[in-house]
Amino acid sequence: MTIADATFVVTDLETTGTTPDDDRIMEVGAVKVQDGTVIDRFQQLVNPQESVPGRITKMTGITTGMVFEAPPVKDVLPDYRAFLGDGILVAHNASFDVSFLNAELRRIGDETLSNDTLCTVRLARRLLPGLDSKGLGRLAQFYDIDVDGRHRALGDAEATSVVLRRFVSQLAFEHEVETVEALLRFQHQSYQTVREVPGHIESIRDEVLPDVPDAPGVYVMKNSSGTPLYIGKAKRLPDRLRSHFTAVESSGARKRKMLQKVRSVDWTTTDTELEAILLESRRIKAEKPRYNRAQRRYYNRPFLRLDTAHEYPTISWTRRLEADGAEYYGPVRNTEQAEMVVDVVGRFFQLRECDDERLHLGQRCLYADMDRCTVPCETEDPEAYATVVERVQAFLTGQDQRVLDEMQARMQRASDDLKFEKAAELRDTREQLERILEKQRVAAAPVREHHAALVHRAPKRPDRADVILVRFGRFEESIVCPLPLSPEQRTHLRERCRSVFDADTDPPTTFSKRDATEIRLLSHWVYAHREELRAIRWNSGASREGMMAAIESAIPGQVADRPGS
């Protein structure tokens, strides 16, 4: 029988202990799988007719009260047995689950199980010899499986079914195992007959990885001639590199092909993850390694342009920034996003969309008839128009949420009126717009006026805070602040902030493709870490001591000086 035609019943038990003769089943969970798809589920609490030990409750969340009114095992096992049928019983550490099931069956005077059994722990030992642990939790982490209800029977059975699917795919690809008979034999195959990890991988694991520093950075995998094959970045270099060389056997075909060629690994440490992201981008574009698919070239990203130099500003998008007095926001991902924002501003704020010639002629246009313009050609009220422009500026910097609220209300009205396509369109536009504006909220300024200190405290690094200095929308410098700050470190922080922000540098007349790309990478990083960041805008007209005090007070555990102290 082929694996695709077989029925697998992936089973997990929760028990009051680890000894089948002395302890009892208190929950049964199972999923029925055919051709890689879950087609049915079984879950039932069981009254073990004894109290649930505290250590078991702590691990599973199952209390004695929860199972007190559950049916006894003699009523549950017949239902489970009917669910199992002639299927192959699969479990993670199958000997444990089968021994408990058979012990309970003997106690109620029933026949023990005769189904074929498949153990995913046995498969893991043969397919993933490089993985440090073969427990279900580690496999779920390795395969990035989102376990809903860990340490409950059905949740663990669901996770095990995903692991089984991964193993079956790997067995077919690497070992040409396509029948049930071959699959059942493979779990008992001796380790010596399973393909070993290549020697050069073992050499890198044993001789190179122990020397990798515990820091953020960029790493380069090279072939025997020193040609870069892949460039990557890491929050912590040891963790990221170990992930490449752990359980190589289960990697995708492209990655395995690359790892066959890797003979050396180099790295460059950085002070912060953000610097690693920017350095990775530059090196990939400069060296274009064969196995890097993304970031191989710079893109000309569009910016939003608010023509504030004009008495009656308009909004548009452009790929090139000019020294023309206009305000530029972004960049955004592509022209579709740029056009969407311009359209939303036109519909909600009604900035003029006519050209200057028509404006000066005082001729009413189609947009006025469509109620998409404040008609400055007729009203000639620059102060009222300026008020609208201020609202647009607040919107573009993520400070004004009224447009998003109105879109939410329109979406709800469309849904109530059964106009579901319109509601879906509004929902998609709103979600996309919200992401764009969230990235602008930290900057809260046009690109050329974006000067800020971003204080970042990573949850897993309680011993430090990073201060990211941004000027003209671009990353300038990172300052690592060991906690708590010493007087010398506070002095250094102040000197570096003043050096960056008070430098006599004119705003850039334009931004290169590299500048635009790195501004966008910065905005992505800020968005991803928005819950961990505090942003202090550096205002040229404000007190320097006041701003330094604000930066220091944003660093955890610090008591900043009062302004003027």
Active site residues: 151
Give the E-state strand segments of 46-167 in sequence order: 88-91, 117-119
Q: 335-349 and 420-443 helices cross at what angle (nearest 10)? A: 100
Give the E-state strand segments of 472-532 in sequence order: 474-482
Q: How many CA atoms are closer than 13 Å to the CA of 1, on its beta-carbon side? A: 12
| Rounded CA separation 384/388 (Å) | 7
| Rounded CA separation 299/10 (Å) | 48
Q: Residues near 43 by Cβ (< 8 Å), separated by ≥ 6?
A: 27, 28, 29, 30, 153, 154
Cα–Cα nearest to 91, from 158, 171, 22, 4: 158
Cβ burial 456-485 (10 Å sphere, 16+ → b, else e)? bbeeeeeebbbbbbbbbbbbeebbebebeb
Q: Using DSSP, state whether 444 is helix, strand or coil.
A: coil
Task: Provide the terminal-to-terminal Cα distance of the chain, rounded to the nearest Å.
Answer: 82
Beta bridge partners of 217: 234, 269
Measure the CA dihedral 515/518/523/525, to 10°. -160
479 neighbors 275 (Cβ within 8 angstroms): no
| Rounded CA separation 520/298 (Å) | 11
Cβ burial 4-17 (10 Å sphere, 16+ → b, else e)? eebbbbbbbbbbbe
79 neighbors 46 (Cβ within 8 angstroms): no
Cα–Cα nearest to 562, from 553, 554, 485: 553
Cα–Cα nearest to 95, from 182, 191, 187: 187
| Total length of the chain | 565
| Rounded CA separation 413/535 (Å) | 37
Which amino acid is present at 50?
Answer: E
Which amino acid is present at 421?
Answer: E
Q: How many CA atoms are closer than 13 Å to the CA of 103, on its beta-carbon side? A: 15
Cα–Cα nearest to 10, from 132, 166, 146, 144: 166
| Rounded CA separation 245/227 (Å) | 19
Output the CA–CA distances (angstroms, integers) from residue 40 to 9, 29, 95, 157, 180, in the order listed.
9, 11, 23, 12, 20
Q: Residues near 234 by Cβ (< 8 Å), separated by ≥ 6?
A: 216, 217, 218, 219, 240, 241, 276
Cβ burial, residue 233 (10 Å; 0-12/13-18/19+): buried
